[in-house]
Amino acid sequence: RRKRQTGFDHLRGKIAHLSSSFEVDNTSQAVPGYFVQDELSAAPSIIGPVPERFGLLDNSSEYWTNFTSKVGELNRHASPHTAYKVVFLGRHGEGFHNVAEAYYGTEAWDDYWSLLNGNGTIEWGPDAKLTELGIAQAEAVHKRWSSELHLGGGVPVPTRLYSSPLSRAAKTMQISFEGITGEEPLIMERLRETIGLHTCDKRSTRTVIHRSFPKFKIERGFTENDELWKADWREPVEERNARVKLAMDEIFTKPGTCIVAHGGVIEAVLAVSKHRPYGVPTGGKVIEHVVHKLVLIGILVSFSQGVIPLLIKATYSRT
């Protein structure tokens, strides 16, 4: 069976240099009531990965205009060090590792197959790629963005894009926003999937990533080789959540954003924001709003491929 080690020492040292000089201490909680994904009875299997209006409950003719106006009003009446921002969370499309896990079952995948690079028919490691279905799922997200730009007054387009360094997430980001915005996505190490053991979660070199996604920016301090992944250690959930929170603390200080990452990262965002779990399918998206010492408003997801909207109220203190 897989070997689990405790301790986060090797990660702490290696990701410390990635931290921004602008540090914030954020607290966050979700604020429901704007998106169908917020509702306790919401069923991801029924809602789907990219629903109309990204799940916005307002179905009037000017739904995005109304939503943007409400967010503006919230900010005008917000207390100091508090802000509301829209954040779209997206999970990558189907990867070859997803196919393998579905075929072998999660237990066999975790205990044996995830430790290999492939099975002789398909390869999923290192750095699993999107399948044809995964590419089609990302194209469906792009189609939804394209539609919502011209409906309801126009969806608020993210002004900051952030991606995991893993190929499946970066490719999903690339396809999803092609022609939607001229913003260059920033690749952040801390947005990667749970680290260790699974070969699909070992990233490519910086050189390969830059060659594959030449229009993407790569954060300062990003190493050439993957110095975080280990074949005999799997990052514990609580340590993954702490890592993702560091990324969120930095990202949430920026204007409206979109993050394309992984189910584990989305789980972590939900956990640190004390939001109930929500299963997002691959290629799905979530919209969220954030304020600085964060109070989240809305819903985030743990999905296979999709997009989910979340409104977050974040409050922050600068350190």
Residue 307 pairs in a beta bridge with 90, 285
- Yes or no: say if 4 and 194 are a contact pair by the CB < 8 Å rule: no
Determine the 3-state secondary structure of 187 from DSSP: strand
Measured CA distances, 105 to 66, 98, 306 (Å): 45, 10, 22
HSE, CB side, 13 Å, CA atoms: give it for residue 250: 19
Examine the residue annotation and report whether 275 is marked as an active-site residue of this protein: no
> Quick one: tokens of 183?
């913003």
3-state DSSP of 121-159: CCECCCCCCECHHHHHHHHHHHHHHHHHCCCCCCCCCCC
- Yes or no: say if 282 and 304 are a contact pair by the CB < 8 Å rule: yes
Quick one: which H or E segment has residue 161? strand 160-163
Q: From CA 130, how far away is CA 136, in angstroms rounded?
A: 10
- Yes or no: say if 294 and 318 are a contact pair by the CB < 8 Å rule: no
Q: What region, left, alpha or beta, does residue 154 occupy, with left being phi > 0 and alpha being psi -120 to 50 degrees?
A: left
Residue 315 pairs in a beta bridge with 27, 292
- Yes or no: say if 294 and 26 are a contact pair by the CB < 8 Å rule: yes
Quick one: which H or E segment has residue 173? helix 167-176
Task: Say if residue 126 is preceded by a cis peptide, omega within 30 of 0.
Answer: yes
Examine the residue annotation and report whether 92 is marked as an active-site residue of this protein: yes
Q: Name the catalytic one among 101, 148, 193, 267.
A: 193
- Yes or no: say if 166 and 201 are a contact pair by the CB < 8 Å rule: yes
β-pairing, 186-187 vs 217-218, is parallel
Q: Which residues are catalytic?
A: 92, 193
